[in-house]
Chains A and B, each alone.
Chain A
Amino acid sequence: MPSLKTIRTRISSVRSTQKITRAMKMVAGARLARAQQRIVALRPYALKTTEILRVVAAPGALPTGVNDSEADAFEADAEGVHPLLAVRPVKKVLILLLSSDRGLCGAFNTNVLKAAEREWQARKAAGVAVEFATCGKKGREYVNRRGGVLAHDFAGIYDGLSLSKASLVASWVTARMTARDYDALVIVYTEFKSAMTQRVVAEQLLPLTDGAKAPAGGASSDTAKLEQAMEVLFEPNREALLERLVPMYVETSIYRALLESQASEFGARMTSMDAATRNAKEMIGRLTLAYNRARQAAITKELMEIIGGAEALKD
Chain B
Amino acid sequence: MTTESVPNDKILLEIVTPQGRVLHTLVDEVTAPSVKGEFGLLPGHLPVLAALRTGIVAYRRGSETTRCAVGRGFAEGGPNKLSILTDEYVAREGLDPVVVRKDLHEVQAQLAKVESAAGGQPLAEATKLQLIQRENWLAVQLELYGDPPPATMRPHEEYGPPQSPEDEEKARESGAD
Q: Is A41 an interface residue (CB 8 A)?
A: yes
Q: Is B154 an interface residue (CB 8 A)?
A: no
Indicate which residue in A41, A56, A164, A241 contacts B130 across the interface (CB closer than 8 Å): A164
Q: Bound complex: CA of A228 vs CA of B159, how far in Å?
A: 27
Indicate which residue in B16, B50, B125 contacts A48 across the interface (CB closer than 8 Å): B16
* Residues of A contacting B: mostly: helix
**Known interface pairs A45-B16, A49-B85, A167-B130. Does A231 touch B36 (Cβ–Cβ under 8 Å)?**
no
Render B29-62 as a binary contact track against A, CB cut-off 8 A, 1 for contact: 0000011100100000011111100000000000
In the complex, what residues of B have CB within 8 A of residue A245's CB?
Answer: 74
Q: Is A233 an interface residue (CB 8 A)?
A: yes
* Residues of B contacting A: mostly: mixed
Binds A, one of B3-11, B18-26, B97-105: B18-26
Q: Is A126 an interface residue (CB 8 A)?
A: no
In the complex, what residues of A have CB within 8 A of residue B87's CB?
Answer: 163
Interface contact tally, CB-CB below 8 A: 87
Tell whether, in the assembled complex, residue B39 and residue A235 are in contact, meaning their CB atoms are under 8 Å apart.
yes
Tell whether, in the assembled complex, residue B48 and residue A241 are in contact, meaning their CB atoms are under 8 Å apart.
no
Tell whether, in the assembled complex, residue B17 and residue A45 are in contact, meaning their CB atoms are under 8 Å apart.
yes
Q: Is B95 an interface residue (CB 8 A)?
A: no
Indicate which residue in A232, A240, A252 contacts B51 across the interface (CB closer than 8 Å): A240
Interface residues of B (CB under 8 A from A): 16-21, 34-36, 39, 46-51, 72, 74, 76, 83, 85, 87, 122-123, 125-127, 129-130, 134, 159, 177
Question: Can you list 13 pairs linking A and B with CB atoms under 8 Å apart?
Answer: A44-B16, A45-B17, A45-B18, A171-B122, A171-B129, A232-B49, A233-B48, A233-B50, A235-B36, A235-B49, A236-B50, A244-B72, A245-B74
Interface residues of A (CB under 8 A from B): 38, 40-42, 44-45, 48-49, 52, 55-56, 163-164, 167-168, 171-172, 175-176, 228, 231-237, 240-241, 244-245, 252, 255
